Amino acid sequence: MRLLHTSDWHLGQTLHTFDRSYEHACFLDWLVATLAAQQIDVLLIAGDIFDNANPSAAAHRQLYRFLQQARREVPHLQVVVIAGNHDSPGRLEAPTPLLEAHGTIVVGNVARSPDGSVDLERLLVPLRRRDGTVGAWCLAVPFLRPGDVPRVAAEDESAALDPYLQGTALLYRQAFALARSRCTGNEAIVAMGHCHMVDGQSSQDSERRIVIGGTEALPASMFDPQVAYVALGHLHLAQRVGGHEHRRYCGSPLPLSFSEVGYQHQVLLVELDGASTRSVTPLPVPRAVQLLRVPSQPAPIDEVLAALEALALPDAPPQQQPFLEVRVLLEGPEPGLRARVEAALAGKPVRLAKIEPTRRHASVDQAEEALSLDQLAQLQPDDIFRRLWAQRYGDEAPPEQLAAFAELTTALGGDAA
C-alpha cells in the first residue's frame, strides 16, 4: 500500500494580515496531482487542517473542494483526518455522514461508550487496498485534551506524577491491542497523532505550545515497536522522532511564519510492505509565494534602506508577490521607520508584511539588582519609564521622551503606569 502523510495545512491563515488562500490553493492543486501521479491509496492528514477553531466559509470550501477533486482524480482514495489543537473537533466532524460516503474518515473527538470508557472502535480505521481488502489498520488519535484520556489506576505511582502522559500512553496501548486483535494476516498497524514529542524541534513564531498539566512533550516509547509507521502533526519542521525512520513529523506544507523560511516543506510518501514499512520518501512542496528576509541579519537603518532600494524583483500579480520581513538594528527609537521603509520599497512588486526591529540592550554589568516589593511600591510612573527605557535601549531616556511621557501621564490623570 502507498500512503501519503501530511499535516498542519492551517487553511484560513493570514500572514500579518495578508490572505494566503492563493498559496493554499496552489498546494492543494499540487497535492491532487501528486496523489494521482504517485498512485496513492490512503491520504493521512494529521491535524490542524484549519488555522483556528472557527474557520471562514472560504476555508471550508477549500477543504471540501480539495476532497472532491482528489476523489475524482483518484477514485479508490481513502482519506483519514484527525483534529489538531487548532481545529474545532465538533466542526471538523459535523459533515461526517457526507464525508464518509465519499471515502473520508474524520476523527475529531475521543468518543465515550455508555459506561464512560473510551470508544476505541471509533479510533480504529481499516485501510483498504484497491481490491477492497484490508491492508492496514490505522490508530486515528486526534489531539488529546485531559478529559479525553483514560484514567490510570491510582496505585500506579507514575500516573500520580503525570496522569495526562500516562493516560495518553494507555490510550495508544489500548488502541494498538484492538488493532492487533483485528489483524487476520500480514496487515500493518499505522498510528496517527497530533502532539509535541520529546526532543521535537518547534518553530519560534507559529506553533502554539501544548502544555497540559506538567507535560509539554510526550515520549516516543508510548508507541509499540510493532507499529509500522507513526504519522504525526503539530511541529512545522519535518523531522524524525527519536531518530526512528518510521516515526515522523511531515511538517507543514507552507512556511507559516518568517522563522520557517529555511525549512524544506514536504509531504511524505510511505510504502507499506505487509506488516512493515518498506520506505519513507519526502516529496518537496513547491513554494508558490516566496518569503524574503532583508537583510539576512539585522543591520543599521542606512544599510537596510540601501538593500531595499537595490532589491530587484520580477513583476508579478498581487497574489504572487513575495512577502517581506525587514530586519533593522536600532540604536534608539526611530519614529519614522515605517515611512522610510515604505519609501524605499515604492513601486516594487513586494508585500511588506513585517518590520522586525532589534535593539541594543544593556550589558550584564549595567543590569540593576532586583527590587523588593516595598521598593517597587515606591516607584513613580516616570521611574518605571526610565528603567524600561534603559533596559531596552541601554541608555538614559532623552529629555524629549521624558517630557512626552509626563504629558501622557498628566492627560490620563497620573495612572498611565
**pLDDT > 50? residue 157:** yes
Whether the per-residue pLDDT at 324 is higher than 50: the answer is yes
pLDDT(362) > 70: no
Average pLDDT over residues 25-51: 98
Long-range contacts formed by 49-52: CB under 8 A, 24+ apart: 49/9, 49/11, 49/81, 49/83, 49/84, 49/87, 49/92, 50/9, 50/10, 50/11, 50/12, 50/86, 50/87, 50/88, 50/92, 51/10, 51/11, 51/12, 51/13, 51/86, 52/12, 52/86
Q: Which residues pair with 193 in a beta bridge?
A: 232
Q: Which pLDDT tens digit goes with each residue over 95-132?
A: 999 999 889 999 999 999 888 889 999 999 999 999 98
Check whether 367 has a pLDDT greater than 70: no
Does residue 395 register a pLDDT over 50?
A: yes
Minimum mean pLDDT among 5-9, 38-42, 206-210: which range? 206-210
**pLDDT value at 31 more than 90:** yes
pLDDT for the residue numbered 387: 81
- Average pLDDT for the chain: 89
Q: What is the pLDDT of residue 399?
A: 80
Q: What pLDDT score was predicted for residue 123?
A: 96
At residue 348, the pLDDT reads 96
State the average pLDDT over residues 26-45: 98
What pLDDT was estimated at residue 73? 97
* Residue bearing the bigger pLDDT, 363 or 61: 61
Tell me what the mean pLDDT of segment 393-414 comes to. 75
Least confident of 127-131, 181-185, 382-386: 382-386
Residue with the bigger pLDDT between 155 and 46: it is 46
**Whole-structure pTM value:** 0.84
pLDDT digits (tens, 9 = 90+) for 192-242: 999 999 877 877 666 566 655 556 688 888 999 999 999 999 999 999 998
The predicted-structure confidence for 54-74, as pLDDT tens digits, reads as follows 999 999 999 999 999 999 999
Q: How many CA atoms lie within 13 A of 226 on its CB side?
A: 16
Where is pLDDT greater, at 277 or 414? Answer: 277
pLDDT attached to residue 386: 80
> Which pLDDT value is given to residue 215?
60
Q: Which residue has the higher pLDDT, 367 or 267?
A: 267
User: Average of pLDDT values for 179-189?
Assistant: 93
* pLDDT confidence bin for 415, thresholds 50/70/90: very low
* Alpha carbons 394 and 368: distance in angstroms, whole number: 12
**Mean pLDDT confidence for 318-346:** 92
